[in-house]
Amino acid sequence: MSKYQPISEKLDPLRKQAKQEKTYELQQLPDEKVIALQQALKQLDYYKLPIDGIVGSGTRKALKTFKQDHWLEHSNATS
């Protein structure tokens, strides 16, 4: 048996932990943080709707697409 563990086996527990330990929920962000998030996503051409500070399906979809495009889909900081 090799003393080296495949990288996927090392990452799996970290991914599970990250899913369980949410730093904060997107819904709990103050309006000004949501506005900043929407503005950043809009500048990067991910968010197409008016900036309103409300976490709706457009904000969630834009953030999800951004995270997928940048290999961040396992990050739960703002999901």
Domain carrying residue 41: 28-73
The answer to whether residue 32 sits within a structural domain is yes
The answer to whether residue 61 sits within a structural domain is yes
Its pTM stands at 0.61
The answer to whether residue 49 sits within a structural domain is yes
Q: Please state, in angstroms and rounded to a whole number, the distance separating the CA atoms of residues 50 and 48.
A: 7
Q: Which pLDDT score is estimated for 77?
A: 52
The answer to whether residue 42 sits within a structural domain is yes
The per-residue pLDDT for range 34-62, each reduced to its tens digit, is 999 999 999 999 999 999 999 999 999 99
The answer to whether residue 1 sits within a structural domain is no
Q: Within 13 Å of residue 14, how many CA atoms lie on the same side as its CB?
A: 7
The answer to whether residue 63 sits within a structural domain is yes
The count of structural domains within the chain is 1
